[in-house]
Structure formats: C-alpha cells, structure tokens
Structure 1
Amino acid sequence: MAELLYRLGFGSSKRPWTVISSWLVVLALAVGGFVAFGGTLTSSITIPGTPTSQVTDRLTEEFPEAANGAGSVVFRTADGSEFTAEQEQQITDLMTEVGDIEGVDSTLDPFTTEQQKADGQQDLEDGRAELEDGRQQLEDGQSQLDDAVAQLDAAQAELDSGQEQLDAGQAQLDEARAQAEAAGSPAAMMAQLQQQQAALDAQQEQLDAARAQLDEGRGEIETNQATLDESAQELADGETELAQGEQMLTLTQDYRTVSEDGTAAVGTVSFTLPAMEVEQGIKDEVVSTLTEADIAGVEVLPANDLSQAIPQIAGPAEVVGLVIAGIVLFIMLGTLVAAGLPILTALIGVAIGAAGTLAFSGMIDMLSVTPVLGLMLGLAVGIDYALFIINRHRRQLKDGVPLHESIGLATGTSGNAVVFAGLTVVIALAALNVTGIPFLGLMGTVGAVCVALAVLIAITMMPALLGLAKHRVLSKKERAAADATVAAATRTASTGKHTAAAEHASPTGRAPQPMSTARAVLTAVGSVVLLAVIAIPFFSMRLGLPDGASEPPESASYQAYETLGEKFGEGRNGPLVVTADLPEGLTDTEIVDEQLDVAQQLQGIENVTSVVPAAVSEDNGMAMFQVIPEEGPNAVSTEELVHTLRATEPESESTNLAVAGTTSGFVDVAEKLAEALPLYLGVVVGLSLIIMIVVFRSLLVPLIATGGFILSAFAAMGGVVAIYQWGWLATVFQVHHPAPILAFLPTIMVGVLFGLAMDYQLFISTGMREAYAHGSSARVAVQQGLKAGRSVVIAAAIIMISVFGGFVFSESAMIRPIGFGLAFGVLVDAFVVRLLLIPALMHLFGDAAWWLPKWLDRILPNVDVEGASLERSHGYSDPELAGADGTDDAGGAGGPDGGGRDDDPALTRV
C-alpha cells in the first residue's frame, strides 16, 4: 500500500493539472446531479415498524384525509387585549386566503370554530328546551287522548246497556207475538205488535249507528295513540342525542381554539398530501402569506410544523470555526500557502460530498441534518488528513529531500496512515447500518462517503497542489535553511566524513527521560476520576427529539410554542392520536355511545387534559380520538402517558387501543435508538480491539485504547446532558429550554468519536511502538512517541474542535448538540485520554504493554501503517526513534513489525 501511495503522490505532483481538473469534473458532476435530481429534505424523524408507524399506516388507510399534513398558526394580540370584531374578521379572511393556496386542502378559522362550538352549545340548550316542550305537549296529548278513551268507554257502557234493554224488549215482544199467534189474536193486536217491532228495529238502528260512531272514534284514538307513541320515540331519540351531545360537549369543553381571555387563537392549515410529501415551497408560500398579513395589533406566529425550515448547510458560526482552524494551520505551518491548502482541499471534498448527497434527496427520504453531518466530518477530517501529509512534506523539504520525491514519500508514509485512519472512521460510520434504523444508517453512509472523499482528495489532490506550490509551503527562512542543509549534505558526501552515528545524534546527546512512576499513577488516576465525574450526568440522560421550545427565542416557532403552552396548556404542543377498533354490527347511535364510552375512559386516565372524539372510519371499524396531555411533548409525564394508553384495555366492547402522532413518534424513536446503542457500541468496541491488535501487535495496548475511548465517549455524552438537558452554562451555549437529548446523538457520537479516537491513538502509539522496536526501553519509548506525536495530535484536535464547535451556535436545534458533542468529545479524548491517560498507563505497564503471544504474532498480517518499509526502500529513516547508539538495532525504521508513525521530526538520507 505504501509503495502504491508513493507512486500515486509522486505521479500527482508531476501532473497536477490532470488531477485537479479531474476533481473539478467530479465536483461539476455532483453539482449537476444536485440541480437535476435534488429533492426536498425532511425534518420528520420516523422509524418503520415502530408502534407509531404501524398505527400511522392504518390511519392512512382508514382516514386518508387525516393522514395528510397539517400545521398550526397562532394569533395573539400585541397589547394583550381581546380581539376586536375587526381583527377577528381579518383573521378569518386571512385563513380563507391561505385555504386558496395550491396544495392546501382546507383551513380551520379559530373564530368560526369557536363560534360553531358556541352555536353547538346553544343548539343543545335550545334542543333541551324544545325537548321539554315536546314532552309537555306529549303529556297533554296523552291526557286528552286518555280522556277521550274514557268518554268512549262511558259511551260504550251506555251503548251496551241500551243494547241489553233492547234485547230484553225484543225478547218480550217475540214472546207476546208467539202467544198472540197461538191464541189467534185479531189483526189489530198483531198490527200493534208489528208497530212495537218497528219501534225496536228503529232503536236497534240507532244503537248500531252509535256503535259505528264509537268504533270510528276508537279508530281515531288508536291513530292518535300511534302518533303519540311515535312522538314519544322521537323524544326518546332526541333525549339520547341530546345526552350524547352534552357528553361530547363536556369532553371537549377544555379544547379551545380561542383562549379564555380572548387574547390568542389557533388556526389550522391542512394540506392535500401527507406531511412527508408536502413540498417546502408550498409551506413557504403558506408561511409568507401568514407573516406578511397586515393585521393591526395582531402577531401572526406560524408554529414549528409549518415554519420549520431546512437548516442551512453552513452559516456564520461555521465560518468562524473554519477561520480558527486556518489560524491554527498558519501557526503550525508558518505560511499562508501551506495553511490554505488543507482548507481548500477540505472545502472541495465537502462540496462534492454535500452536492452528491443532495442529488439523491429526490429519490430517498433524507433527514435535513444528514448532509450537515457529512459537512462536519468532511471539513474536520479533510483538514486534518491534508495537514498530516503537508506537515510531513514540509519536514522532508527542510531536510533537503527533493520536491517530488518528498511529495511521494509524504503520501506513501503519512498518506498510508491517513488511509488507515480514514478507513477506521468509514467502517465505524458505515456500521451504523447494523442498527437497522434507516435514517441513521443513511447518516452513517453519507458521513462515511464524505470521509472517504477526504481521504482520496488528501492522497491525490493534495500532492498535486503541493507540486504546484513547490517550495512555497516553506517560509523564506525555512527555504534558506533547507538550502543550507542540502549544501552541507553535499559537502559531507564529497569529503566522505558523514556517518550514521553523527547524523542520528540528538541535540542533547541523550534520550528523553521517562516520567516518574508516581506521576504516572497520579496522571492515570486523575484522568480516570475526571472523566468519570464528567460522565455522571450521562446516567440521567433522557432521549427525545427537538420541538418548538428548542427553536431560537426570537423565532415565530418558539413564540407560537410558548403562547400555546401559556394560553391553551402545555399539552396542546404535543397532542396524541388514539385509535380503537369498534365491534361489528353497531347502529349509528351505538357507535356514538361506544365513542363516548372510550373517550370518557381516556378522560379518566392520569395526565390527560381533554379527549376529542375525532372521527369514525367509513366502514365503522375504527374510531379516532385526539388526546391532549397535561404537559408538553418531551415531558416525562407525557412519555408515561403514551405507555399507559398502550397498556389500557377498553372497558367497553371496543378493543386494541393504539397511539400515534408526533409526540408518540418521539417516544418510539427515542426508545428504538436507545435499544440500538448497546449493539452498536459492542460492534465498535469489538472492531476497535481487532484493528488495534493487528496494527500495534499487542493485546494490552488495544484494551487500554478501547477503555480510554469508552471513558471519553461517556464523558462527552455526560457533557452534552449537563449542557442541553440539565441546562448548565445555558447562557454560554444559548440553551434557553433544556430538554431531552437528541435521540440519535449518542449513536452518532460513538461512531464518529471512535474513528477519531483511533486516529489519535495511531499517531501516539505507533511512535511509541517504533521507538520500542528500535531498542528504546518501553518507558523511554512512551516519551519518545509522545514527544514525536503530540504536536500533530494537538493541532489536529484543535482543528477538529474548531470545525465542530462552529456548529454549536447553528440555528438548527438538531445540529447544535451534535456540534457540541463532537467538539467536546474530541477535547476530552485528545487532551485527556490520548495525551495524559494513555501515556501514563503505557508507562505503568512497561514491557507488558507490547506482549503478544507468539502463535498470534505469526498469524497476524504485517500492517505497515506508517510506511516504514517505504522509507527503507528509498533510503530514509527516522533518527529520533532509532537506538540510543544511533543504529537501528531493531532492523530499520519500524523494526521487524513494520510499525511506523506519522509525525517524524526529521528524515535523513542514509
């Protein structure tokens, strides 16, 4: 690998414009891809397969319109007075105007909604009065009908009595006729009897007519009774509906769209597409229409779900961090040309990485912070990796090595270390895919690609630029000294008096002295205690996602969030969507009863403020409710409420209570990421041990280095918790609302810090290994390696901290803690772990630190990280890490293990 990189660097320096133009073509292609295929980034974090995601999928099927995106806008009076009628009308007109925007499905005007609620209340009161009137009329009608029935019954009794009398008279008449006929009565008597019969027949006809009238009256009564029964049923149904309406009103009485004091109101904007598919341009038009409205005395505040913008790739704070990195480079390298080249190559690398990443945003859902993470890493490692090569090249030039040969050697030695260091970062980031969380895997992949680009540019474009810069990477004084060195070397060669021993002699004539054991113990114990103390807050870490409270205080999102909490209750910032499966075969009335039963049960659960029965699916199979918690979306009580709701069994016939919504999604994402962290940490730690055993050919050094990484990672996360969750130093870091830690931050920090920690471990430990292999005692080798590597580690760490620190004051609530976590993590790992703890432990373990079983030594591959074999093959070696007598007792630079290091203070022709 070293020889291949040597040739690559040497060739790039000889043909600089070919290499540079090739990278510019790649940049142009990346930018062209972004312009042609770039899509919309998202700020919504979702994980497939979580309970929230599963419920959301069902909601999309059962309630298509409910699955569409929506956002809130808060109106408040500037002077704290009640809205005037004119202001209310202007707000209503504004919401109508917003509703006409293409891509907006509908809007809910707060005053119209509140008026509808008031009208509903009035309708219920009117309905109750009408119901009472109807009941009274029904009672009066029933009473009248009962009187009529009584009269009919009396008439029937009279009729029956008359019929009995008539029947008795007829019987007497029939008997008299029979006697008369038997006695042969005269015709006159028979005529008299006939007249009596006629009178009885007439009376019977009267009775029959009366009976017919009575039956007719009874029929009318039955008809009236049926009518009254129908009215009674209607009254009963009305009573049921009225009772349901009153129960519904009771449930929703605390859910308001206009505050009780009349100084604030909340409107809703619903889109025609799901939230993930709503174009940013549509949201921007909605927000601009709202904020540009001129309503005297009214502030219009689009909430976070409307106004949350995609964070800028870079801002003023990031530029300041880059300037600080440039200052560090100038101090270390001494010339503007040398200081500018690492920044130039890093910028080209991140431009390609960012544009290339965004080119895929039109094809895949990409979190808005993903390209920003790539930018962070690309800038930081891009500058550092270029620094390692140019620093090596400058030293070689000062030692008189020819220009192109020096560039090739720097690429083959330091470039070899850069490739290895970059590979560890790439593997650590790519391993984020093992978590099984798509957006996190994508972030890792993008970060890995940006780091890989930084490596490729460092070993190709940097040599090309160094070829163009020639000796201008040295100051005039350094160039003069280099010329004198070349002249002296030429004179020495001509006289034949040059010896290796003279060349290898140190200025003081003696090797560095090891630290005392007492100092090593104190340093080790002190470092561990310091890291442990800093890590204490980690054990109280809560994970979550940023909400409107995390936005800048001057932003509309933050003010809308605060106004909602103050005027309508904290829970309005984090509503929950609850669903329940309804039993089959219910009537409409029974469905409403079932809704109310479930809603009243939900209302009785602790930490619930109000429950709104929202809708029932078309097939009557699912009911949806909006549940308003007592506290905000990131509150502990809200998280507990989500779990309580999921564990609740409906007391009615409904089944399967489920929870969805943004707040529920926060909880699920945080828990899923927390579950994935131990697995990922295990993968990273195992990877760390394997890589370092191969590189350092030791069992103890990898254990020490990995233990140090774990300490620094926990300390870094402890610092993040102290600042962003506990609120320490809140003013300094502009943390106006402490909240749970960004859910995916710990996982990202582990991946990134692991790669960087291995970089610093490489620069420190390979120097120690090389000095030990050259014959120095283990404890002296610790000092030699530390002396040789600490300057580049310090410079690299300061640059990293500067670049990452530039993101600490970003406008995005997601980016700020990432920037701080990485900057603080580099700080404690580089300055506490690598420069204090590791040397102290290495001193205490002495020779045991480099022990390796012989059987393992035989099967491990020989990884020449620092390209020592390349140095030997080209006739160069490192005098500082040679034996005390000036000879290479261990068989040349790097010894039999081929170990090497990056920060060689001098390279000398042998």
Structure 2
Amino acid sequence: MNRTLHRVGAMCAAHPWRTLTAWIIALVAAVVLGGAVGGTPRDDYDVPGTASQAGTELLRERFPGLSGTEARVVVHNPAGGQLDPALLDRVVDALRAVDQVGVAGPAQPSADGDTAIIDVRYTVPVTDLGADAMDQVRAATGAARDAGLQVEYAGQVPEGEPTEGGLGELVGVLVALVILIIAFGSVLAAGLPIVAALVGLGIGSSGILLLAAVTQVSTTSPSAAAMVGLGVGIDYALLLVTRHVEGLRAGLAPQAAAARATATAGRSVLVAGATVLLSLLGLILSGLAAYRTYGFATAIVVATAVAAAVTLVPALCAVCGRRIVRRGRLDVTEPQRPPLTARWAARVGRRPAVWAVLALAVLLLLGAPALTMRTWPQDAGSQPTENTVRRAYDLIAAEFGPGAYAPLVVAVDLAKVPQDSVPALQDRIAAVPGVATVSEPLLSPDATAAVLTVQLEFSPQDERSGELVDQLRAETLPAGAEITGVTAVFVDIADLLAERLWLVVGVVVGLSLLLLTVVFRSILVPVKAALVNLLSVAAAYGVLTMVFQWGWGGQLLGVDHPVPVSTWVPLLLFAVLFGLSMDYEVFLLSRIREEWLATGDPFQSVVRGLAATARTITAAALIMVVVFAGFMTNADIVTKMIGVGLATAVALDATIVRMVLVPASMMLFGRANWWLPGWLDRLLPHLGRRGSAELDDPADAAPATEETASLEPAASR
C-alpha cells in the first residue's frame, strides 16, 4: 500500500496542474449535474414491518383521500375575536385546489372561536410531493394573512421542509482557518486543508442531491453529511500537509516531500476513512430508509474527502513549493529540551496506572447520565419558537389540548372486525384513562374499513403517550384494528431503533477490530481502541442527556425547555463518532508503530509518537470541535444534538483519551501491545510495512544546493 500511495502522490505532485484541472472539472460537473437533475431531500415516515405501518397501508388501500401525507393549517386571531366563518371557507376552498390534495377541511374552531385548524390530506406520500408544496399551501392561505390573522403550519409537509443553517457553519470554517494559520505559521499552508475540504464537500454534497433523485433522502441528511465531511476533510488534508512540511524541513524537494507524505500520512488517511465508512455503512442494519440514506449520504462526502486528501493535496503542495512554510520556519535547529508533549508522555509513563484510572473515571462520570437517557423522535414541540411548526404546536396545545397536535388514528378492517361492533370499540377506547376524545367512525367509500381519530390527554413527546399506545394495542384493540398516526409511528421507531442499536454496534465494532488487526498486526491495540472509542461515545451520550433532557444549558442553544434526546441521534452518533474516534486513534497509533518498528522500545515509541502527532491531532480536533459547534446554531434540533454530541466526543477524544488514556494503557502493556500469534499473522493479509524505510529512494533527496542546505536539520550539518 505504501509504495502504491507513494506513486500516486508522486504522480499528482509531478503533474499538479493536470490534477487541479481534473478536480475543478469534477467539481463543476458535479454541481451542474446536481442542480439540473438532483432531487430534494424529503422525510419518509414509513416503518416497514411495524403495526403502525400496517394501519397506514390499510388507509392507503381503503381511504385514497386520506392515504398520503398531511398538513395542518392553524389560523389564529391575535386580537382574541372570533374568526369569520366565510373567510375560513375561502381558505378551505383554496386549499382543496392545491395539487395532490385529496381532502381539506372543514375548519375546526376552538371553544372560544379565535383559533381554527384546517386538516389537509394529500393523496401521495410526502416523498412524492414537489419542492413547491409548502409554497402552494402558503399561497392558498394568503387571504387569512391579508386579513391580519396569524397563520401557522403543522404536519409532515412543513416539518419536511429543509431547515436553513445558521451563520455558525461559516464562522466555524473561518475559525478553522485561523487555527491552521497559528499551527503552520503560514496563510498558504493553512489554506490548503480548507480548499481541499471544500472541494471534496462540494462534490460530495452534489452527490447527495443526485442520490435524492433516485431514492428518499431525509431532510437532515445533507446537514449531517456536511458536518462530518467538512470536519474529516480538513483533518485528512491537515495530516497530509503536516507530513509534507516535515519532509520539506528534512531537506526533501517539494515533489518528493508530497510523495512521501502521501505514502505515510496517506495510509493513515485511507485506514481512518475506511473505519468511518465501515461505521456509516453499519446504518444499513438499522431497518429504516432514513438511516440508510444518512449512511450513504455521509459516506459519499467522506469518500470524496479521502480522495481529495491523497490526490488533490499533493498537487496543491507541489504548486506551492517551499512557500508553504515561512522561510524562517524551514531553518530547523535541534531543540534544547524535549517538546512539551514528549515531557507529558514521559510524565504519564511514570505512573501509567494512576493516569489510566483517572481518565477512565472522568469518562465514566460523564457517561453515567446516559443511563437515564430517554429517546423520542423529534417533534414540533422540540423545535425552536421561530419555527412555524412549533408555533402551530403551541397554538393547538393551548386551544385544543396537548394531545390534539398528533392524534392517534385507529384503522379498522371490517373484514376482520364486524361493523356493528365498531361503536362498542369506540366506547372501549374512550373509557381508557388518558384518552381525551374519540371521533365518530368514518367509513371508507366501499364500506370495508373504518377510521377512528383518538385524541390523548398528553403531548406526543410525553412518556405516557407511548405507554398508552402500547396499552391500547395490548388490551383494547381487536385483531384487524391497528393504531397509526405520527405518535404511533414514533413509538414504533423508538422500539425498532432500541433493538437495532446493539446489532449495529456489534457489526461496526467487529469489522473495525478486523481492519485494525490487519493494519497494526496486533490483538491488544485494536481491542483497546474499540473500548476507548465506546467510552467516548458513552460520554457524548451523557452530555446530550444533561444538556437536552435535563436542560442544563439548553437555552444557550435555543432550546427553551427540556426535551428527550431524539431517537434518531444515538444510532447516528455512534456510527459517526466511532469512525471519527478511530481517525485520531489511527493517526496516533500509526506514528507510534513507526517508532516501534524503528527502535523496538515500547516506552520511547509512545513518547515519540505522541510528541510527533500531538500538535497535529490537537489542531485537527480543535478544528472539528469548532466546525461541529457551528452546527449547534442550526434551527433543526436534531442537527443541534448531533453538533453537541460530535463536538463533545471529539474534544474528549483529543484530550482525555489521546493524551492520557491511550499512552497510559500502552505503557502499561509494553511489548504486549504488538503481540500477534504467528498463525494469525500468516492468515491475515499484509498491507505493507508501516515504517518509512521501505520508501527510501535516492531520488527523494533534494540536490545539495544552498537553498536546500538551510532545510537540513542542524544535527546533520
């Protein structure tokens, strides 16, 4: 692998303008193609194999007018007077004329008459609606707004509209640039990782739009993919540029330094990228289309970031030449004392057991709140107040009751349940504690099915709502009657993902262990890597629980009240975090293994490996934390949660884990870190020796000119 990467880096550096032209053409083509034929992300609430899906399918078959997605228009008079029925009728008539609307209205007034709900049912799922669906609804309700009334929108259609990101994402990129300038001391060197990451992100994001044209992509997938892609793109490019600068300082010509960096750091990038992709593809096992597209969308961006790192970065480095580092910084002299990180590693090595226990205690303390975590899919009540669905939610809860926003729908198959028993079923449901109202039965056009609408006394995210759904299914409904609706779907999603989480964890951890065993030729190192990464994930879960469920600091993020952790977040965070944590693990262990292969000293290899990578990993982690923190400003609460979780885990990973736990544990185990049974070593494929000795090539050396003489280490002159 090393020699192949060396040739790739050498080729790209030898022909930089051809490489840059190829990437520019690819970027332009991807953006144009994505804009021309790309699709629009849409949320899909289908959960195959669940009870709620069975009810949904019955509605689609027997109630064509009620079979598709829905929107709810909430009209409110801020002055408190009663609404004009004639005006409401005009709004209803306009909504009935909207494309693909099967049923609209009649308006349902509140008890005091100052608020009304107009239900709008489409004939197609939300994924089949055009991008202008909400624009048509807003146009149809223009008469109410013109009359000075407050009009808000709820339901799957407005909830499915992509949310706009905050300025935090842009600020994150600018702060990342400042960090890189400080790290390299050069604007040119700092700009290379940003340029490479943005090019990869542009192509990857266009790929997501193309993916949305052929399959369902959830509305939050592009934001999550951009968050991860931007972070890893900068990190991977940073690793290559750092190693390239080391080559320049060691006296290599720019093209040779780029080739050497691609062969050494490029290998770490490929392994790190592979672990991220393995983690993301584990989402396929979730059982939900939304998760599969999360995985595919993010994988597209990560794969593009890896390709940009090992091909675009060498070309950019070659174009910049020695200008990538300020002249004064190329004149390297031997330091009078070891670097701070080397002294720190030596200090940890003097009492490795104590430091390991302290690090474990911190991670376990932060992870403990996760034991109380309650998950629930995000709903309108969790959104910020500037969101129309949140304002609609608050109006409906205040005027019609907390359970009115997302009532249950009981679909009854009259081929299995006698029609004359439906009134009795209605009475049994109404008698269940926690049920507020039950509507009169609505028969299908062919009289083969009936629908009952059940309003609960609790809000959808109230824990009692889920318990009541389970109770109705187990004790009240006969065979042939199924509960569906948003609340019931959310209950099924929460149950399904709770079951699948451990399957995904097992598969992802197992595949990652296998990959790292092949790369590092060790049993203990991959096992430790998996365990410490799981601790980082647990700590991130604990912080999420404290911030969102307990409400500690939630208002600083625009969350005005405690909310459950979104059901979508734990599984997605695990897949992303496990891969990202492996990034830093691979970066550090790769350098430690280089030192181990060169010296055979288990203690000094850790000290030198940490000293060589700490600055890069710290800068990379700080950049990721800043980028992820920028996404906390996004209006969507799921994106906020993902941003908090990722920023927390990366911060812990680069400090407690990489600076304390990993070096302490490796010093405790000594030579045992690199033990591998001979039979297993023969069985596993070999990817090439990790040391750099195999790359030694006289052509790599720069000619002994006056210019390169100043690049040589002082000890060699």
- TM (norm. structure 2) is 0.92
Q: CA RMSD in A?
A: 2.7
1:353 CA displacement? 0.8
Determine if contact 1:14/1:404 at 8 Å carries over to the other structure: yes
Separation in structure 1 between the aligned mates of residue 46 and residue 610 of structure 2, nearest angstrom:
46
Q: Given the alignment, which residue of 444, 462, 474 partners 1:647?
A: 474
Determine if contact 1:330/1:339 at 8 Å carries over to the other structure: yes
Q: Secondary structure of the residue that 1:267 maps to in structure 2?
A: strand
Separation in structure 1 between the aligned mates of residue 604 and residue 387 of structure 2, nearest angstrom:
58
Q: Given the alignment, which residue of 328, 331, 353 partners 1:521?
A: 353
Determine if contact 2:198/2:230 at 8 Å carries over to the other structure: yes
Separation in structure 2 between the aligned mates of residue 709 and residue 585 of structure 1, nearest angstrom:
52
Which moved further from structure 2: 293-302 or 729-738?
293-302
Q: 2:704 — aligned with what?
A: none
1:92 CA displacement? 3.0
- Residue 98 (structure 2) pairs with residue 101 (structure 1): yes
1:602 CA displacement? 0.7
Q: Given the alignment, which residue of 600, 611, 618 partners 1:794?
A: 618
Q: Secondary structure of the residue that 2:152 maps to in structure 1?
A: strand
1:31 CA displacement? 2.2
Q: 2:575 — aligned with what?
A: 751
Determine if contact 1:9/1:460 at 8 Å carries over to the other structure: yes
Separation in structure 1 between the aligned mates of residue 13 and residue 482 of structure 2, nearest angstrom:
64
Separation in structure 2 between the aligned mates of residue 420 and residue 707 of structure 1, nearest angstrom:
18
1:553 CA displacement? 0.8
Residue deviations 1:412-459 (CA, integer Å, cap 9, x gap): 111122112111211221232233433212221222221111111111
1:312 CA displacement? 4.9
Equivalent runs, 1:495-894 vs 2, <5 Å: 507-508=336-337, 514-515=346-347, 519-582=351-414, 591=419, 593-650=420-477, 655-775=479-599, 777-864=601-688, 866=690, 868-873=692-697
Determine if contact 1:433/1:440 at 8 Å carries over to the other structure: yes
Residue deviations 1:636-693 (CA, integer Å, cap 9, x gap): 111011111211355xxx6432111111111111211111110111112212322232
Q: Which amino acid aligns with 1:568?
A: F
Q: 1:464 — aligned with what?
A: 315
Separation in structure 1 between the aligned mates of residue 447 and residue 147 of structure 2, nearest angstrom:
46
Q: 1:82 — aligned with what?
A: 81
Determine if contact 2:98/2:140 at 8 Å carries over to the other structure: no
Separation in structure 1 between the aligned mates of residue 236 and residue 126 of structure 2, nearest angstrom:
41
Q: Which amino acid aligns with 2:38?
A: G
1:797 CA displacement? 0.8
Determine if contact 1:582/1:655 at 8 Å carries over to the other structure: no
Unmatched 5+ stretches in structure 1: 111-256, 486-504, 878-904
CA separation of 1:874/1:603 partners in 2, compared to 1, >3 Å: closer, same or farther?
A: farther
Residue deviations 1:148-175 (CA, integer Å, cap 9, x gap): xxxxxxxxxxxxxxxxxxxxxxxxxxxx
Structure with higher RCO (Cα < 8 A, 6+ apart):
2
Q: Secondary structure of the residue that 2:655 maps to in structure 1?
A: helix
Residue deviations 1:180-220 (CA, integer Å, cap 9, x gap): xxxxxxxxxxxxxxxxxxxxxxxxxxxxxxxxxxxxxxxxx
Q: Secondary structure of the residue that 2:676 maps to in structure 1?
A: coil
Separation in structure 2 between the aligned mates of residue 830 and residue 31 of structure 1, nearest angstrom:
35
- Residue 112 (structure 2) pairs with residue 261 (structure 1): yes
Q: 1:426 — aligned with what?
A: 277
Separation in structure 2 between the aligned mates of residue 908 and residue 455 of structure 1, nearest angstrom:
36
CA separation of 1:24/1:38 partners in 2, compared to 1, >3 Å: closer, same or farther?
A: same
Separation in structure 1 between the aligned mates of residue 281 and residue 698 of structure 2, nearest angstrom:
36
Q: Secondary structure of the residue that 1:273 maps to in structure 2?
A: coil
Equivalent runs, 1:342-353 vs 2, <5 Å: 342-353=193-204
Q: Secondary structure of the residue that 1:805 maps to in structure 2?
A: helix
1:296 CA displacement? 4.5
Q: Which amino acid aligns with 1:47?
A: V
Q: Which amino acid aligns with 1:605?
A: V
Q: 2:214 — aligned with what?
A: 363
Q: Given the alignment, which residue of 279, 287, 309 partners 2:130?
A: 279
Unmatched 5+ stretches in structure 2: 702-711
Determine if contact 1:412/1:867 at 8 Å carries over to the other structure: no
CA separation of 1:727/1:559 partners in 2, compared to 1, >3 Å: closer, same or farther?
A: same
1:509 CA displacement? 9.3
Q: 1:373 — aligned with what?
A: 224
Q: Secondary structure of the residue that 1:68 maps to in structure 2?
A: coil
CA separation of 1:312/1:641 partners in 2, compared to 1, >3 Å: closer, same or farther?
A: closer
CA separation of 1:782/1:809 partners in 2, compared to 1, >3 Å: closer, same or farther?
A: same
Q: Secondary structure of the residue that 1:814 maps to in structure 2?
A: helix
Separation in structure 2 between the aligned mates of residue 906 and residue 758 of structure 1, nearest angstrom:
33
CA separation of 1:100/1:773 partners in 2, compared to 1, >3 Å: closer, same or farther?
A: closer
Determine if contact 2:378/2:567 at 8 Å carries over to the other structure: no
Q: Which amino acid aligns with 1:438?
A: A
CA separation of 1:516/1:840 partners in 2, compared to 1, >3 Å: closer, same or farther?
A: closer
1:789 CA displacement? 1.6
CA separation of 1:359/1:906 partners in 2, compared to 1, >3 Å: closer, same or farther?
A: farther
Q: 2:55 — aligned with what?
A: 55
Separation in structure 2 between the aligned mates of residue 472 and residue 421 of structure 1, nearest angstrom:
29
Q: 1:387 — aligned with what?
A: 238
Q: Given the alignment, which residue of 272, 288, 312 partners 1:437?
A: 288
CA separation of 1:743/1:273 partners in 2, compared to 1, >3 Å: closer, same or farther?
A: same
Separation in structure 1 between the aligned mates of residue 689 and residue 569 of structure 2, nearest angstrom:
31
Separation in structure 1 between the aligned mates of residue 402 and residue 18 of structure 2, nearest angstrom:
61
Separation in structure 2 between the aligned mates of residue 907 and residue 858 of structure 1, nearest angstrom:
43
1:635 CA displacement? 1.4
1:717 CA displacement? 1.1
- TM (norm. structure 1) is 0.73
Separation in structure 2 between the aligned mates of residue 584 and residue 91 of structure 1, nearest angstrom:
39
Residue deviations 1:688-720 (CA, integer Å, cap 9, x gap): 322232333332222222111111111111111
Q: 2:173 — aligned with what?
A: 322
Separation in structure 2 between the aligned mates of residue 309 and residue 872 of structure 1, nearest angstrom:
56
Determine if contact 2:66/2:102 at 8 Å carries over to the other structure: no
Separation in structure 2 between the aligned mates of residue 722 and residue 18 of structure 1, nearest angstrom:
51
Q: Secondary structure of the residue that 2:264 maps to in structure 1?
A: helix
Determine if contact 1:291/1:301 at 8 Å carries over to the other structure: no
CA separation of 1:744/1:102 partners in 2, compared to 1, >3 Å: closer, same or farther?
A: closer
Q: 1:354 — aligned with what?
A: 205
Separation in structure 2 between the aligned mates of residue 614 and residue 331 of structure 1, nearest angstrom:
69
Q: Secondary structure of the residue that 1:624 maps to in structure 2?
A: strand
CA separation of 1:874/1:65 partners in 2, compared to 1, >3 Å: closer, same or farther?
A: farther
- Which of the two has higher C-alpha Rg? 1
Equivalent runs, 1:167-206 vs 2, <5 Å: none
1:507 CA displacement? 4.7
1:609 CA displacement? 0.7
Separation in structure 1 between the aligned mates of residue 555 and residue 125 of structure 2, nearest angstrom:
38
Identical amino acids, percent of aligned pairs: 33
1:873 CA displacement? 4.2
Separation in structure 1 between the aligned mates of residue 690 and residue 199 of structure 2, nearest angstrom:
26
Q: Secondary structure of the residue that 2:217 maps to in structure 1?
A: coil
Determine if contact 2:50/2:492 at 8 Å carries over to the other structure: yes
Residue deviations 1:750-799 (CA, integer Å, cap 9, x gap): 22112222221122223333333333642333222221221111111111
